[in-house]
A and B are shown apart, each in its own frame.
Chain A
Amino acid sequence: MSSKYIPIIGLEVHVELKTKSKMFCSCSADYFGQKPNTHTCPVCLGLPGALPVANMLAIDWCIMIALALHCKINQFSKFDRKNYFYPDLAKSFQISQYDLPFGEKGSMELKNGKKIGITRVHMEEDTGKLIHETINGEKVSLIDFNRSSVPLVEIVTDPDFHSAEEVVEYLQRLQRIVRYLEVSDADMEKGNMRLEPNISLSVDGKTLPKYKVEVKNINSFRFVQKSIDFEIKRQEEILKTGKKPLQETRGWSEMKNETVSQRVKEEANDYRYFPEPDLPPIRMAKEQISTLESSVPELQEKKSNRFVTDFSLNSYDAEILTREKNIADYFEEAVAVGKDYNVTPKQIANVIINKKVNIERILPAELIKDLIEGSRKVDIDVNELTVVITNVLQDNQRAVEDYKSGKETVIMFLVGQVIKQIGKKIDATMVKDLLITQLK
């Protein structure tokens, strides 16, 4: 960057877990595209007298995310109430975690070797959703509580990023981690993964600026890049005039292709956090944590490196193959089958990467079978083939004449005769080409 300012960027990411039931009740957590207010009960509606009961699987998954991000796990943890008013917040408080998150002080290393600090990984519940509509000419706001109390994991980084590129790399890696863990689809369009960068500019890159601009409503990595780049430019221009940018929350406007002011924070919100009295604190035994640790699968980076060393792949192929865990698993299964038939990992990698194999439909063993058959077709001795072709042409003078007089379709008859004489499945195109050459 040519400017004298250094961007200081931190990230808050919300990941929605794909548990069957919600965080604090037994309603289905699968709300996407459902009829409004059909996945609700007294608990997630926040009705009088209803009480939360924690989803233990969601807690395990939150801890697994924290472990994958090398966090320290708090053996003694608890839930807290975050009190604020908003119509989509059923109880007028959100059950979240304040001073004892499940995980803290983690890190993620970027390609350039830089370590991004993970401040905390905590568990909370999602809110309902407001829908603004016009019904019979009247503007109304409606609330859908299907999403209320769906489990959310919030992952907060230290302000360690200095460019949009670093942020995007981190996000892609994070997305792969939660997908590898199979705890979230991390589908941004469905809102499974929500990103909130906070951006400010520093003169020396060390002292934190006295303001911070948070950007919300970003639903793709591309828009993260764009909004950060936009903010850097916008703030730079303000700073150049000797002023300080406002501490505020801005939203990304896809239409305007820029960030727009949403809310100016006069001072920090007072959420009046206090321990959630309806949920006993959570004590995690060391063994429980190590069990969770051992259930964290090999993540992309490690897998990719292993593919390079174990299967002699180049790192480019290895990286592509490991982007999605199910493709990587498929590849490894195919390699295991292929070993017995002298099919090399490289051959398998090429097919998967170049031919975009539909791994849902073709089993790894089938893929190997196809590869073997494909290579057998090529394996036929060209001299043997030439002899057979000469014989066939001699035996079928009539057809040869027809072909020469312009009836070119007769070639397929000759191809069939050659294959019949060879008695093996061979590549018909190759036979056809050889026939045409000989007929000239």
Chain B
Amino acid sequence: MNIQNLTITEAKIGLKNKQFSSMELTQACLDQIKLHDEKLNAFITVTENQALAAAKEADKRLAQNDELPLLGIPVALKDLFLTKGVRTTAAANVLSDYIGQYDGTVVKKLKDAGAVMVGKTNCDAWAHGSSGENSDFGATKNPFNLKYVAGGSSSGSPVAVATGMALGSTGTDTGGSIRLPASFCNVVGLKPTYGRVSRYGVISMASSLDCIGHFTKTVEDNALFLSVTAGNDPMDATTPNKPVPNYLQSLTKGVKGVKIGVPKEYYGQGLDPKVRKLAEEALEVLRKRGAKLVEISLPYSEYAIAVYYIIQTAEVSSNLARYDGIRYGNDRSFFSDEAKRRIMLGTYVLSAGYYDAYYKKAMQVRTLILQDFAKAYEQVDVILAPVSPTLPWKLGAKTEDPLAMYLSDIFTVTGNIAGIPGLTMPAGFADGLPVGIQILGPQFSEEKLYQVAHAFEKETEYWKEGPKLL
């Protein structure tokens, strides 16, 4: 048995029944990294020694029948998550040898839940990108076809889960950076409601859009993971004091009578017919299970990319200003092109005389997009849409055309602008490459997303199709 390919839920049973130890499970993941990461480039730092020490500790607690939700489970962290004493680079040369000075809230919560950290995963530098190719540590490859991108910005984390290098992994989603790579790698990825999971201790990209989420193989694992990470954090003023439901409880409620919105703007021009076909098949599966499909309109979505590239770059320009060469070793010349591009754009849109024309206007349109969704959720419970307008693309296909790269986020940025949750799940394959769909719901409706996704997953089980890594 390849225990590294188990789901978290399965592994928990195995650990509990002493079929294998956390040491064995962790070692299996580490072996997988050793075997395959040279070609996949999912990890920037592998923390083998710390992982084995944590696994040993977990085994002790397992022997005492401790009931922690992730006890002994190997997980990987996107290298934007600060880890005390462990290098934290944001996949950027500016921080190439920066050692984290503290554990962020999510890292602490995962450790407290008994998780074992196997390492820090690759991503687009500063999370700027949709393919993973902007990493200063080299692009992550798609495990289903090494000539293709894994998607980004969280590129290494979904690859780690898809290939058994970890059973779960964290990511950040500012414009689609969890949902898109999850779709490209055939795993489940959640971008929670803005503020549902603390951002404290995660390197900021665009603070008003950043959401802290995670990747797992299955919906159930995903719900379990969120139960650990969600909740108010006194260290993050944008996390409301809302109770955290038991996300596992409503999983099996089914979709009978659930109204699913089908936004016409997301199925029209610019959508690859192969992606459309799989999304429509998904709708049909859910309809057959009793869901009601309702055509809706989100007319302001067409302005989402424009709005996003104003607000996001403005915040990026401010958030990256501290890396000025005084305290973080490497100076500003270490910034790569994409970061410089965003710093310049952001500085421009905030400049005196331009603020009203760009930033202020963008914030006004942001409100309109929010209202779009609010209106839609008066008619429907959730919305189902494609994640990426295209299939995963070949490495290098868009690197010379930043605008084309930006447009790959066209269906995902709206979720960030509106602050609503979105869950990507595997929806099949085209040309041998995975295609995901996303379920979007009103703020704090993660339970509902899991409920719909679980029903779909039970019916389709696309996640079981793993990459062939020979």
Contact = CB atoms under 8 A, between A and B. Distances in A.
Interface in A46-66: 46-54
Contact of B321 (A49, A92, A279, A280): A92
Interface in A25-58: 42, 46-54
Interface stretch (B137-145, B194-202, B432-440): B194-202
Given A81-B318, A92-B324, A48 B199 contact: no
A270 B352 CA distance: 6
B102 A280 contact: no
A90 B355 CA distance: 24
Interface in A75-95: 81, 83, 85, 87, 90-93
Contacts of A42: 101-102, 201
Contacts of A47: 82, 101-102
Contacts of B238: 51, 277-280
Contacts of A54: 237
B199 A85 contact: no
Contact of B208 (A90, A270, A277): A277
A279 B322 contact: no
Q: Which of B204, B208, B315, B322 has the most CB of A within 10 A?
A: B322
B47 interface: no
Contact of A50 (B88, B200, B315, B359): B200
B351 interface: yes
B324 A85 contact: yes
A91 B199 CA distance: 17
Interface string B298-332: 00000000000000001101100110101000000
Contacts of A49: 80-82, 104, 199-204
B161 interface: no
Contact of B326 (A81, A83, A87): A87
Interface string A340-356: 00000000000000000
B120 to A, nearest CB: 13
B200 A83 contact: no
A48 B95 contact: yes
B234 interface: yes
State the main secondary structure of chain A at its contact with B.
loop
A222 interface: no
Contact of A277 (B98, B315, B322): B315
Interface string A163-197: 00000000000000000000000000000000000
B351 A46 contact: no
B321 A51 contact: no
Q: Which of A42, A46, A81, A277 has the most CB of B within 10 A?
A: A277
A83 B321 contact: yes
27 contacts: A48-B204, A48-B322, A49-B104, A49-B201, A50-B200, A51-B237, A51-B238, A52-B237, A53-B235, A83-B317, A83-B318, A83-B350, A85-B324, A87-B326, A90-B322, A91-B321, A92-B321, A93-B318, A272-B318, A272-B351, A274-B314, A274-B315, A277-B207, A278-B204, A278-B207, A278-B237, A280-B237
Given A51-B236, A83-B318, 14 more contacts: A47-B102, A49-B80, A49-B82, A51-B238, A52-B237, A53-B234, A83-B317, A83-B321, A268-B352, A270-B352, A272-B355, A274-B318, A274-B350, A278-B237
